[in-house]
Structure 1
Amino acid sequence: MLIPIPDLLDADGVRAVRTLIDAARWVDGNETSGHQVALAKNNLQLSKEAPEGLEAAQIILAALSRCPLFIASALPLRIVPPLFNSYAGGQALGTHIDNAMRALPGGQSLRSDLSITVFLEEPEEYDGGELTVETHFGVQQVKLPAGHAVLYPSSSLHRVEPVTRGRRVASFFWVQSMVRDDAARAILFDLDQSIQTLALQVGQGDPSIIRQTGIYHNLLRRWADA
């Protein structure tokens, strides 16, 4: 399930994040890579300890907490603090699958069910740099306006195409969902969206909404493994 999330950050949010990270120290992108990813990765990344990155990450996390589409599609349990990367001058990230486990601050770890990319540069400002994801419905390429995000299974094969002009700047991170199985999350998301659409037509108190909401929560109880 690949879910675009429009306008996760508004223009002010994008500006605030870019002001912070553009002034920070960037390092080799393999600082957070596993062995296989390191063989395919060629980019720059904001240091995990950079105070500017930590502050920018809080802006993104706050936006996620206000985003019903993210909450409905991801059913988030835990989130790795957002990181930031940059591609330019032909840099790219080859085809790979994200590591199954990710470290959290404090020594804990989470299961990476979902990956997120938040685009922080307007698409007309660079050539290439598409996020290419191999899904059950074929290969999909994503290149969104600044402030928009995309959510996709961490288990999917994906890559970033070479950036041949300009600079692609983005945030990336991972989510452990309350529901491990991608197909189950997709069913819950579709049901949630149907409930929201129907509620606009008949009102939240309509018996049909109450019944469907009950079905949703019973399925969530059955499938949640948190």
Structure 2
Amino acid sequence: MLIPIEGVLGKDEVAQFRARLDAADWRDGAATAGTLAAGVKQNLQLDDAAEPAIGLGNHILRKLAGNPLFVSAALPRRIYPPKFNRYADGGNYGTHVDSAVMQLPGSGATLRTDLSATLFLTEPDDYDGGELEIEGVYGVQAVKLAAGDLVLYPSTSLHRVQPVTRGARVCAFFWIESLVGDDGERALLFDLDQSIQALTPRLPRNDAELLRLTGVYHNLLRRWAVA
């Protein structure tokens, strides 16, 4: 299930992000890649343990906590702190799959990567190339969203970033461990929740069928969730 989420950051917020990121100290991204991924990764990244990565990452997490579409789609249990990358001058990331389990920074806790997320921070007209290509059951989907928009997709997917041949592509990216680890179950809950949200303004709050649907949603979540 690939889900775009518009307007996670407003345009003013994006401008503030970019002002800080454009002045930041970028490092070779290959240093943070796994054994296989290092050979296909050509980009720059921020130091995760320093500003502005910490402050901007925390701002993104606060915004996501109040975003109903993100919460409905991801059902987040844990979120890996956002990272930031930059692609320019032919920079790209060849086909790879994200690690299944990651250690959360500053703790011994681990996170199972159920969902991957990319938050675009550059307008698509400002660079050529740089499409995020995600392989799924219906073929390859190319994603290149407006600045401030985010895409969620299963971490099990093979994916890549095409070479950037003009300008620079700047993004935040991170991973989510969901309360519901199975992608199919999570997709059913998402569809059901979206239907309930669409019906709620049209029906009385005590409508029997709306209450029944809400009960089905919560009972399925209760059955499938790992708290």
TM-score by length of 2: 0.97
**Superposition CA RMSD, Å:** 1.0
In the alignment, the residues of structure 2 paired with residue 77 and residue 92 of structure 1 have an alpha-carbon distance, to the nearest angstrom, of 31
Structure 1 stretch displaced more, 78-87 or 100-109: 100-109
Partner of 2:46: 46
Over the matched positions of the two proteins, sequence identity in percent amounts to 55
Query: Counterparts of 1:205 and 1:143 in 2: how far apart (Å)?
Result: 42
User: Could you say what secondary structure the match of 1:93 adopts?
Assistant: strand
Q: Which moved more, 1:216-225 or 1:200-209?
A: 200-209
User: Is residue 120 of structure 2 the alignment partner of residue 91 of structure 1?
Assistant: no
1: distance between equivalents of 2:151 and 2:168?
A: 19
CA distance in 2, matches of 1:87, 1:203: 50
* Residue in 1 that maps onto 2:140: 139
Structure 1 residues 133-175: Cα deviation after superposition (integer angstroms, max 9, x where no partner): 0112221110000000000000001000110110000000000
User: Aligned to 1:196, what secondary structure does the other structure show?
Assistant: helix
Structure 2, unaligned runs of 5 or more: none
1:107 aligned partner: 108
Counterparts of 2:12 and 2:66, CA distance in 1: 15
Greater mean alpha carbon deviation, residues 32-41 or residues 200-209: 200-209
**More deviation in 3-12 or 32-41?**
32-41
Q: Secondary structure in 2 aligned to 1:50?
A: coil
What's the offset of the Cα at 1:50?
2.0
- Distance (whole Å) between structure 1 residues aligned to residue 206 and residue 116 of structure 2: 35
* 2:23 counterpart residue number: 23
d(CA) in 2 for partners of 1:109, 1:32: 17
1:195-214 paired onto structure 2 within 5 Å: 195-214=196-215
> Is 1:56 the equivalent of 2:56?
yes
Where does residue 175 of structure 1 map in the other structure? 176
Q: Which residue of 2 is the match for residue 75 of structure 1? A: 75
Structure 2 CA distance for aligned equivalents of residues 30 and 74 of structure 1? 28
Provide the C-alpha distance between the structure 1 equivalents of 2:150 and 2:204, rounded to a whole number of angstroms. 30
Q: Distance between the aligned counterparts of 1:193 and 1:84, measured in 2?
A: 30
Q: Secondary structure at the match of 1:51?
A: coil
Q: How many residue pairs get matched? A: 226
> Does structure 1 residue 127 correspond to structure 2 residue 128?
yes
Aligned partner of 1:184: which letter? Answer: E
Compare 116-125 and 99-108 and name the one that shifted more: 99-108
Aligned structure 1 segments of 4 or more residues deviating by more than 4 angstroms: none
For 1:9, the equivalent position in structure 2 comes to 9
1:223 positional shift: 0.9
Cα distance change, pair 15–204 in 1 and its aligned pair in 2 (3 A): farther
* Per-residue deviation, 1:203: 3.4
Distance in structure 2 (CA, Å) of the matches to 1:14 and 1:31: 27
Could you tell me how far apart the structure 2 residues matched to 1:205 and 1:18 are? Answer: 47
- Is it true that 1:163 corresponds to 2:164 in the alignment? yes
Structure 1 distance, partners of 2:215, 2:207, is 13
Distance 1:50 1:22, change over 3 A: farther
What are the ranges of 5 or more consecutive residues in structure 1 without an aligned counterpart? none
